[in-house]
């Protein structure tokens, strides 16, 4: 039954995100086509059109990420806590499995959104700069190598850290909204409004606590600066751990409320 639930979630949540993926692909192809036509024709008018198309592409890229994020969060709320939730929670699976399925599918779609956005940007960069794929990766590899050398960490560790931040960023964003929506269910009226307020409150609380942790971490570094010469690995490890901790906090809020304090509209 869990497999069927995952397939159903993939199908339902994929309706909106697939439309936005199509819009992003169309914008990418249009931008590349206008650039190639303009470069072959050498027409200034086409050059102006290309600038306008680039602006359209940039807006499409941003809208794709934002709309997909909002639609995934809205689906979570609708299918877990609104009238739709009565049907969801009658499924013959554990409540926590329903939560896990929704989080996993939403997280997967957001990661796919990020990957497609990166690939789309790289394709346009390849077309405009006239680079080959090997040359582009060479440029990226050089940037990674130079940055990692400045930080004093291995290049592989820097890339893994960057990928981890990418994944944890999406996961924290989704779980933050899910946790806020869950807290909203503790109220008897205006649950959606309280959920939004809770999300904002959680965000500011997490930022304040994170800044406090960073401040005390800096003081600790000043005290122990003689114990280690290179702070970069500690900073990277600390940032990753902090994000993991917040993801665990948001998930725990969702799990506890779904299991013990479920109060549908």
pLDDT in tens, 205-227: 999 998 988 888 777 777 766 55
Mean pLDDT of 55-71: 92
Which of 30-44, 64-78, 83-97, 119-133 comes out lowest in average pLDDT? Answer: 83-97
Does the pLDDT at position 132 exceed 60? yes
Name the E strands within 89-135: none
Which residues, other chains included, contact 123 with Cβ-Cβ below 8 Å and sequence gap of 6+? 28, 32
d(C-alpha 219, C-alpha 193), whole Å: 39
CA distance 28 to 53: 10
pLDDT tier, 228 (very low <50, low <70, confident <90, very high otherwise) = low
- Rounded Cα gap, residues 116 and 24, in angstroms: 8
Query: Between the CA atoms of 67, 133, 171 and 63, what dihedral angle is there, to the nearest 10 degrees?
Result: -10
- What confidence category does residue 9 fall into, taking pLDDT thresholds of 50, 70 and 90? confident
**Residue 38: pLDDT over 60:** yes
Higher pLDDT among residues 106 and 238, named by residue: 106
Q: Is the pLDDT of residue 67 over 70?
A: yes
- Range in 48-62, 119-133, 134-148 the model is least confident about: 134-148
Closest-CA residue to 101 (of 182, 179, 6, 171)? 6
Q: How far is the C-alpha of 198 from the C-alpha of 165, rounded, in Å? A: 24
Collapse the DSSP code of 216 into the 3-class scheme (helix H, G, I; strand E, B; otherwise coil) and give the result.
Answer: helix
**Which one is predicted more confidently, 128 or 30?**
30
| pLDDT, average across residues 179-190 | 85
Where are the strands (E) in the chain, listed by range?
none
pLDDT digits (tens, 9 = 90+) for 90-105: 666 787 888 888 899 9
Q: Of 50, 19, 208, nearest to 127 (Cα)?
A: 50
Supply φ then ψ for residue 187, to 5 degrees.
Answer: -100, 155
User: Contacts for 97-103 with beta carbons within 8 Å, 24 or more apart?
Assistant: 97/2, 97/5, 98/5, 98/258, 99/254, 99/255, 99/258, 101/2, 101/5, 101/6, 101/9, 102/9, 102/75, 102/76, 103/174, 103/175, 103/178, 103/251, 103/254
| Max mean pLDDT range (70-74, 124-128, 219-223) | 70-74
Confidence class for position 204, pLDDT limits 50, 70, 90: very high
Instruction: List Cβ neighbours of 93 (8 Å cut-off, separation of 6 or more).
Output: 1, 2, 5
């Amino acid at each position: 039954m869990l497999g069927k639930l995952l397939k159903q979630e993939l199908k339902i949540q994929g309706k909106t995100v697939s439309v936005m993926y199509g819009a992003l692909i169309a914008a990418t192809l249009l931008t590349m086509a206008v650039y190639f036509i303009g470069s072959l024709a050498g027409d200034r008018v086409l050059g102006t059109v290309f600038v306008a198309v680039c602006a359209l592409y940039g807006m499409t890229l941003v809208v794709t990420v934002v709309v997909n994020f909002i639609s995934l969060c809205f689906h979570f709320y609708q299918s877990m806590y609104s009238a739709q939730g009565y049907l969801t929670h009658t499924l013959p699976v554990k409540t926590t499995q329903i939560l896990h399925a929704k989080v996993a599918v939403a997280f997967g779609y957001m990661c796919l959104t990020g990957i497609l956005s990166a690939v789309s940007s790289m394709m346009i960069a390849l077309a405009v700069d006239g680079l080959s794929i090997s040359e582009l990766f060479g440029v990226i590899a050089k940037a990674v190598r130079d940055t990692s050398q400045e930080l004093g960490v291995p290049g592989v560790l820097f890339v893994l850290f960057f990928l981890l931040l990418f994944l944890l960023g999406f996961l924290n964003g989704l779980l933050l909204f899910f946790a806020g929506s869950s807290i909203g269910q503790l109220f008897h009226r205006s649950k959606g409004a309280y959920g939004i307020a809770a999300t904002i409150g959680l965000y500011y609380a997490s930022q304040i606590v994170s800044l406090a942790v960073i401040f005390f971490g800096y003081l600790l570094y000043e005290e122990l600066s003689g114990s280690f010469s290179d702070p970069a690995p500690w900073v990277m490890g600390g940032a990753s751990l902090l994000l993991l901790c917040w993801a665990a906090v948001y998930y725990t809020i969702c799990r506890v409320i779904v299991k013990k304090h479920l109060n549908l509209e």
